[in-house]
Amino acid sequence: MRKEYFDRDRQRGLFQTFAWLVEEVGELGEALLKKGTDGVAEELADVIAWTLSLANLVGVDVEKALETKYGEVLARHSC
């Protein structure tokens, strides 16, 4: 993702990238309120993609952050 989108995200800027993430979270909420699964997977994918874009912009290694925060839980339980 970084290779494909980083330059575009950097040009867009941190707060505009965050705004896109918030918009996608809203679209996910709308999909969930429809009480069906149509569109939920697509909106979840968008939320994850924009979250990763934001992490790239601020230099967060998401894998490392998840391991640090949830490592013990992940060791005990599979996802």
Domain count across the chain:
1
Domain membership of residue 6 as a residue range: 2-76
Between 31 and 75, the higher pLDDT residue: 31
Q: According to the model, what pLDDT value does residue 35 have?
A: 73
pTM above 0.85, yes or no: no
18 pLDDT band, cuts 50/70/90, is very high
CATH of the domain at 44: 1.10.287.1080
- CA 3 to CA 6: how far, in whole Å? 6
The mean pLDDT value of the chain amounts to: 88
- Alpha helices of the chain — where are they, by DSSP H? 2-12, 14-33, 40-58, 62-76
Query: Residues 39-59: pLDDT tens digits?
Result: 999 999 999 999 999 999 999
